[in-house]
Amino acid sequence: MDRSTAPGIATSLPAARDVLELLKPVTWFPPIWAFMCGVVSSGVPVAERWPFLVAGVLLTGPLVCGTSQAVNDWFDRHVDAINEPGRPIPSGRIAGQWGLWIAIAGTLLSLLVARAMGPLVFGATCLALVCAWGYSAPPFRFKASGVWGPAVVALTYEGLTWFTGAAAMMGAWPGGAVLVVLALYSFGAHGIMTLNDFKAVDGDRAMGLRSLPVVLGVDGAARLACVVMAVPQVLVIALQLAWGHRLIGGIVAVLLVGQVVLMRRLLRDPLGNTPWYNATGTSLYVLGMLASAFGLGGVAGL
Over the stretch 73-126, which tens digit does the pLDDT of each residue have?
999 898 778 778 899 999 999 999 999 999 999 999 999 999 999 999 999 999
Q: Is residue 10 part of a domain?
A: no
Count of structural domains, the chain: 1
| pLDDT band per the 50, 70, 90 thresholds, residue 206 | low
- Indicate the length of the chain as a whole number: 302
In this predicted model, what pLDDT tens digit does every residue of 145-199 receive, in sequence order?
888 999 999 999 999 999 999 999 999 999 999 999 999 999 999 999 999 878 7
The Cα–Cα gap between 153 and 144 comes to 13
Q: Which residues contact 302 (CB under 8 A, 6 or more apart)?
A: 175, 176, 177, 243
What's the average model confidence in pLDDT over 114-141? 95
The Cα–Cα gap between 160 and 140 comes to 20
Q: How far is CA 166 from the centre of its chain?
A: 17
Q: Is residue 211 part of a domain?
A: yes
Q: Is residue 6 part of a domain?
A: no
pLDDT at 1 over 70: no
Q: Is residue 8 part of a domain?
A: no
Q: What three-state secondary structure class fits 175?
A: coil
pLDDT computed for residue 68 by the predictor = 96
Q: Is residue 2 part of a domain?
A: no
Q: Is residue 1 part of a domain?
A: no
In this predicted model, what pLDDT tens digit does every residue of 241-284 receive, in sequence order?
999 999 999 999 999 999 999 999 999 999 899 999 999 999 99
The Cα–Cα gap between 216 and 168 comes to 40
pLDDT at 208 over 70: no
| Structural domain boundaries, residue 277 | 16-296
pLDDT computed for residue 108 by the predictor = 98
What are 210's strand-pairing partners?
145
- DSSP annotation of 42 reads H
Residue 139: cis peptide before it, omega within 30 degrees of 0: yes
Q: Is residue 20 part of a domain?
A: yes
Q: Is residue 272 part of a domain?
A: yes
In this predicted model, what pLDDT tens digit does every residue of 63-76 receive, in sequence order?
999 999 999 999 98
